[in-house]
């Protein structure tokens, strides 16, 4: 029994027992499926307190980047989610509710930092956008199915039946996270099978110029005081740079800052509709609370094109796809002003406009999630070794902070405008913000547009 458990766990410190189904458990498809299910479970159990998000992702990203395996922080995040769900299910006091919400926020932050970093570690860079498209599709599916199934189960089975469904999802998530094997762990087993002395397969430190001369021609006395002084100064500068927190270097990247701006706008747009749309259809069309929840289907369904958007971003770059997504949403935001009274035609018009907005969001968001990784890689190439063990999870922590900031601003922005100026003005407001965001995206997403033109001229 112990041997079987070890074979399933894949302890990276023990190369003697090859895990069962190693090739399947470390495959790209399985990793994408597990991360997508994490996102689905997180959003399905949605109720996350937006104020809890910005306080935890950066710290959790740092922890994830400095642990041996991404799986351990993910399992810890799942433990937080389980504890939060138990507290929300059984708690009766306000304090218990607040603590449960905070734990849920921390768990969600772990999924969107360590989870996306895990995917980036195990997928080729030229396929990252397409794979992240499946994750965003799963997230949107959870957004849709969570409220719908929760309402149905509550009507049929009561309060605790809803949480039993949640615990079942958490149980399956536990199994998948335990079964998953990262590629860097799998390589140890495959290397040991191919070559018993697999340590020899590890890259050897490069010889410096003097050592190369000595090894080829014997001992050569090469002395250059000026060269040694420059080397010492460069080494001191390099040590000082490595001591700076990774997020400072990340925030110095214009490419990443624009991706974070796009992420914030994504959160703002989604939560603007969350705050305003249900009340609008209830008052305008006389829909019930259940019907007002169903209106979000129109926004969510276009997310099935997420993998297509990711594939196009991988092939042609994120610049024009993302800028086009923000710009193409503008007329549909403005045309929301045409929905003014109760009729079948008006209901169809609203659903059509929301579906087109959802399609634009899909094409603006999927490339942005992949752009986070590419911006980190670009910064690493500029200053090799500046991030030490890496900064992908920390970059996704900043991404989560930006999204959460937009999630806080969105309901305030849309709610205040609708209250003081009306539904049409709210559509105009979202249109103006979307158009304004497309400008920096066009110039900086994927790198400065001037560099691209210079490269084209050189060709």
pLDDT at 217 (0 to 100): 37
CB 314 within 8 A of CB 128: yes
Classify each residue of 429-457 as buried b or exposed e, where b means 16 or more C-beta atoms within 10 Å of its C-beta.
bbbebbbebbebbbebbbbeeeeeeeeee
CB 36 within 8 A of CB 134: yes
What average pLDDT values come out for the chain (459 residues) when binned by 10 residues?
52 61 87 89 62 47 59 81 83 80 78 81 86 87 72 74 84 88 79 46 42 41 48 51 68 89 92 88 85 82 91 92 95 95 93 95 90 85 70 82 88 92 95 96 88 55
Displacement of CA 365 from its chain's centroid (Å): 10
* Structure token digits, residue 52: 């809890």
pLDDT at 201 (0 to 100): 36
Read off the pTM: 0.76
CB 171 within 8 A of CB 2: no
C-alpha torsion angle, residues 117, 123, 126, 131 (rounded to 10)? -80
pLDDT at 302 (0 to 100): 92
* Structure token digits, residue 186: 């799998």
Cα–Cα separations (whole angstroms), residue 36 to 21, 22, 455: 20, 20, 37
Number of CB atoms found within 10 A of residue 320's CB: 17
Interacting residues of 53 by C-beta distance below 8 A, sequence separation 6+: 105, 108, 109, 400, 401, 403, 404, 407
């Amino acid at each position: 029994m112990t041997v079987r458990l070890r074979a399933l766990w894949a302890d990276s410190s023990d190369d003697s027992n090859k895990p069962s189904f190693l090739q399947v458990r470390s495959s790209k498809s399985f990793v994408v499926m597990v991360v997508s299910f994490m996102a689905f479970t997180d959003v399905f159990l949605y109720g996350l307190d937006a104020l809890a998000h910005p306080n935890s992702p950066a710290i959790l990203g740092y922890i994830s980047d400095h642990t041996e395996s991404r799986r351990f922080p993910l399992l810890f995040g799942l433990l937080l989610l389980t504890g939060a769900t138990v507290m929300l299910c059984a708690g009766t006091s306000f304090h218990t509710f607040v603590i449960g919400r905070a734990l849920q926020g921390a768990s969600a932050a772990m999924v969107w930092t360590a989870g996306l970093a895990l995917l980036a570690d195990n997928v080729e860079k030229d396929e990252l956008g397409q794979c992240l498209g499946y994750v965003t599709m799963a997230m949107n599916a959870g957004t849709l199915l969570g409220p719908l199934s929760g309402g149905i189960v509550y009507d049929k089975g009561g309060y605790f039946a809803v949480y039993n469904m949640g615990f079942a999802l958490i149980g399956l998530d536990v199994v998948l996270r335990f079964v998953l094997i990262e590629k860097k762990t799998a390589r140890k087993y495959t290397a040991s099978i191919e070559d018993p002395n697999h340590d020899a397969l590890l890259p050897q430190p490069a010889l410096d110029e003097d050592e190369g001369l000595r090894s080829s021609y014997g001992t050569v006395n090469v002395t250059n005081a000026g060269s040694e002084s420059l080397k010492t100064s460069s080494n001191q500068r390099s040590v000082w740079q490595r001591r700076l927190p990774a997020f400072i270097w990340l925030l110095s990247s214009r490419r990443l800052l624009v991706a974070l701006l796009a992420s914030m706008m994504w959160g703002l747009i989604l939560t603007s509709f969350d705050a305003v749309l249900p009340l609008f259809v209830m008052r305008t069309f006389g829909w019930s609370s259940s019907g007002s929840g169903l209106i979000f289907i129109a926004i969510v369904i276009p997310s099935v094109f997420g993998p297509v958007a990711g594939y196009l971003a991988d092939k042609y770059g994120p610049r024009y796809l993302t800028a086009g997504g923000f710009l193409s949403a503008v007329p549909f935001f403005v045309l929301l002003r045409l929905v003014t009274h109760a009729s079948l035609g008006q209901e169809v018009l609203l659903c059509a406009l929301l579906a087109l907005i959802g399609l634009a969001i899909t094409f603006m968001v999927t490339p942005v999630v992949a752009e986070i990784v590419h911006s980190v890689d670009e910064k690493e190439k500029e200053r090799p070794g500046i991030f030490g063990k890496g900064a992908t999870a920390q970059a996704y922590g900043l991404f989560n902070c930006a999204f959460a900031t937009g999630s806080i601003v969105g309901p305030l922005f849309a709610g205040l405008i609708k209250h003081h100026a009306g539904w049409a003005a709210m559509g105009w407001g979202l249109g103006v913000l979307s158009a304004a965001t497309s400008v920096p995206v066009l110039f900086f997403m994927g790198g400065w547009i001037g560099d691209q033109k210079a490269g084209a001229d050189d060709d």
